[in-house]
Amino acid sequence: MSSTAAPVLRMYIGGEWVESESGRTFEAYSPANGQLIASLPEGSREDARRAIRAANDHKHKISGMSVWDRADLCRRIGDVVARHKEELARALSEDQGKPYHTQALREAEAAANSFYNAAEQVKWLETSVIPAKDPNKRVFSFRQPRGVYAVVTPWNFPMGIPSHYLAPALAAGNAVVWVPAPTTSVCAVNLMQCLEEAGVPSGAVNLVTGPGPIVGDEIVAHPATDAVGFTGSSQTGRRIAERAAGKSLLLELGGNGPTIILEDADLAMAGVVTAAGCFHNAGQVCSATERILVQRGAHAEIVERLIEAAGSIRLGDPFDPATTMGPLNNQPTAEKIDRHLADGVSKGAVILFGGQRMPDLGSDLFYAPTVIDNISRDSLLNNEETFGPVAPVMAFDDYDEALAIANQDNMGLVAAVFTSNIKNAFYFAERLRTGVVNVNEHSNYWESHIPFGGVAGTRSGIGRIGGKHTLMEMTDLRTMCIDVSR
């Protein structure tokens, strides 16, 4: 494909599709075959400021709507997204790389559901009347929009994750300036087109494409944005927390989720289910199973099941109906996996399946599903987020040892435990330092109304997304006191 054949996409500011003020562009390539798929505006700080001005000039259009009208708007957006789900899924497969039939269609449906969910939840967000000591006072609270939200999103679920912010932001009456990840900005433009088609008020949502450290930094740090919603790495989250100090922060960051498998579990089930936690979306999931701690007596069977599951994965063209895993989205992710596996092997781990890229499939972003055993406590696989299709295994002898490993330098997001004993389930659920613990289910299980986020004091973020929890995060609680005697 030549560069002139690819569509030229634009950003969306103040209700118009615009180029960057500099006229500069960047190109989007398919991770599956390296073909050019579109060019996009390379936004500058001035473009970000233009979007912030538009959001401030037009925020009254969304804050001034009744809750019922905002719920209608969200429902209309959900309908448009659902109607265009095949096109959206095609963009996801081309731009992100995920399999069209088995994963991209589901992500497009999930994006529609986020809007339906916000439309339902916002109507029932009741607040309280607070009894006062003073008999002449009537005290109550109500929820108000925060103003202009700076939303910055990653590339692993480029329609699902933005919808977790855009839907509740609009339902709650906020205007938004949104910066998507550069490697999935074609997806962002497609989703933005749905919002426009559904009649989102002009200026209420503004999309700025370009480098995160420039346009993302500008929108989080600028004094005319009031709050930040960010999903991405722990490192970027920390920088954003500094740059946006004093603003309301909802930060969904990284994870290196431990899964603990006890000898008393249904081991055949535990092996198969855990593999899904490792390999879904080629492991590019914040809640992915990043390390598997297996009680020694169960070790041999679990390893065998993981190898079987890895062998049954069909890695290949995202548009082939038989494909169950596509390429990784980008080169830095592939390099990090190379680095983590090499580090593991240098510290005594053994690769039992996969462990290399498969460039013959169309690009060197295809990574074989990998099972690596005997990882050490000081390895990168145990201490950092790998974010790839890797199942790292480690054996343990007693429960306290398992807990110590699981909680060691923990990123605190999601853990899983497999056991047939309810006492053991609670033993671990109450001691693991993560925001979510799934029992007899892989670490990726989540539904979009369930509270999700990291535990305090770790590198996994601040706040909770999910249904009414995001709505509460994205509103200010206003307290009103009335004296009825004067």
Sites of contact with ligand NAD (CB under 6 A): 152-156, 161, 179-182, 212-213, 216-217, 220, 231-233, 236, 239-240, 252-255, 286, 385, 387, 413, 461
The CA-based dihedral angle spanning residues 423, 426, 432, 438, taken in that order and rounded to the nearest 10 degrees: 110
Regarding beta strands 16-18 and 137-145, do their DSSP bridges make them parallel or antiparallel, or are they unpaired?
A: unpaired
- Between 62 and 228, CB nearer to ligand NAD: 228
Helix (H) / strand (E) element for 194: namely: helix 185-197
| Shortest separation between residue 59's beta carbon and ligand NAD, angstroms | 21
d(CA 388, CA 392): 11
How far apart (Å, rounded) are the C-alpha atoms in residues 176 and 59? 9
Q: Classify residue 478 by burial, with Cβ atoms within 10 Å: 0-12, 13-18, 19+.
A: exposed
Complex with ligand NAD: residue 225 or 295, whichever CB lies closer: 225
Closest contact distance (angstroms) between CB of 32 and ligand NAD is 19
Q: Counting Cβ atoms within 10 Å, is residue 310 exposed (0-12), middle (13-18) or buried (19+)?
A: buried
Rounded to whole angstroms, how far apart are CA atoms 232 and 113? 22
Shortest distance in whole angstroms from residue 144 CB to ligand NAD: 26
- Of 182 and 344, the one with the shorter C-beta distance to ligand NAD is 182
Catalytic, out of 74, 187, 194, 286: 286
Q: 219 vs 298, which CB is nearer to ligand NAD?
A: 219
DSSP string, 248-310: EEEEE-----EEEE-TTS-HHHHHHHHHHHHHGGGG--TTS--EEEEEGGGHHHHHHHHHHHH
Note if 74 is an active site residue.
Answer: no
Q: Could you say which of 218, 252, 290, 385 is catalytic?
A: 252
DSSP 160: H
Minimum distance between the CB of residue 4 and ligand NAD, rounded to whole angstroms?
A: 27
Phi and psi of 227, rounded to 5°?
-155, 160
Whether 252 is catalytic = yes
Contact indicator for 312, 277 with CB cutoff of 8 Å: no
Cα gap 20→3, rounded to integer Å: 19
Q: Residue 382 Cβ, how far from ligand NAD at the closest point, in Å?
A: 16
Between 202 and 233, name the residue whose CB sits nearer to ligand NAD. Answer: 233
Q: What is the number of the residue whose Cβ is closest to ligand NAD?
A: 212
Residues paired with 410 in a beta bridge: none
CB of 230 to ligand NAD, least distance (A): 7
> Distances in Å between the alpha carbon of 415 and those of 110, 257, 292, 482?
23, 5, 10, 47
20 touches 44 (CB < 8 A): yes
Shortest spacing between CB 287 and ligand NAD, in angstroms: 7
Which CB atom, from 193 or from 209, has the smaller least distance to ligand NAD? 209
204 near 58, Cβ under 8 Å? yes
Q: Decide whether 390 or 395 has the Cβ nearer to ligand NAD.
A: 390
Give Cα separations from 132 to 126, 148, 477 (angstroms): 19, 33, 18
Catalytic annotation, residues:
252, 286
